[in-house]
Amino acid sequence: MEERTRTGSIISLIGALVGIVGVFAAFTLSYQPMMNAKLAAGRPDEALIIQYAIPFLSDVGITSGVLWAVAAYGFFREQSWAWTVAVIANVMSLLAGFFSMIPAVIEGLFPTFIVVFGPSLVTYFLLLTYVRQVDGRIITVSLLSGMAYVTAFMNGVASTDKIILHGDPLMIALQRINWIAAAAWGVFTVGLLTRKRWVRPLGVGAALMTLTAGVPLAAVSTISEGRFSMFSPAPMLGLLLLVLLLAPAGSRTVTSWLNSKGTVEAASA
């Protein structure tokens, strides 16, 4: 199937608008209200996290908008790299949009960053099903790795809160490992969709890193709180992806995808 470059350029321009204007507007409208709500709720620890995490994610979102603009130029000029740049921009914008909604939702505020996350989710499926057609099974794997990417990042942030409150050595030891795992899953997702041969060992490593960082946190949190721990989704997803990558059926699916080349890829090889 030939790449729909005109549609790709339109989608990328929308992504650029959302990433630059949308993120800036959402940050301006929601940052201080989220800070005030956390302080009013008696959670200065969470206000401190918002103080640093949301600006960082705003930077990620605005950077994604710039990359979207670069992708739009590439699509307009019918360059083979445009789709890859668009996928990178999309993966970045999904993290920025989703995580930035959470503090607002917890405090009963309107999740302003939905104006970033909603369009980013739509453009993700359009890139993978219309601009280029990606195998549906690979899209499913990419969604799972994308969720692992977000939840591992969340575990790192949640560990930071525990460190502020209690200075727990376990949290200190595993905090940054979660962020390394999150970065690995982000790169894995892009590499999988763009057919990079190195994604299999990267995925196995990311899964093991997620389990290493997430299982102790989930176990300790579940035992101490006596309920399902929000540290659990990341290692659960890591285990599922590890099984998918190593099981014969999943391994054949990924190998077939990595070894095959569609019309667009063959033309640019």
> What gap in Å lies between CA 152 and CA 145, rounded to an integer?
10
User: What DSSP state is assigned to residue 81?
Assistant: T
* Contact of 99 with 154, CB cutoff 8 Å: yes
Helices (H), 18-81: 23-40, 44-76
Convert the pLDDT of each residue in 87-125 to its tens digit.
999 999 999 999 999 999 999 999 999 999 999 999 999
CA angle, 199 then 58 then 44, to 5°: 110
Domain ranges across the chain: 1-133, 136-263
* Contact of 68 with 16, CB cutoff 8 Å: yes
**Percent of the chain residues past pLDDT 90, beyond the cut:** 87
The sign one gets for the Cα dihedral 122, 127, 133, 134 is negative
When pLDDT is cut at 50, 70 and 90, the band that residue 136 belongs to is very high
Report the predicted TM-score, pTM, of the whole model to 2 decimal places: 0.91
Query: What is the pLDDT, as a whole number, of residue 168?
Result: 84
Convert the pLDDT of each residue in 186-215 to its tens digit.
999 999 999 999 999 999 999 999 999 999
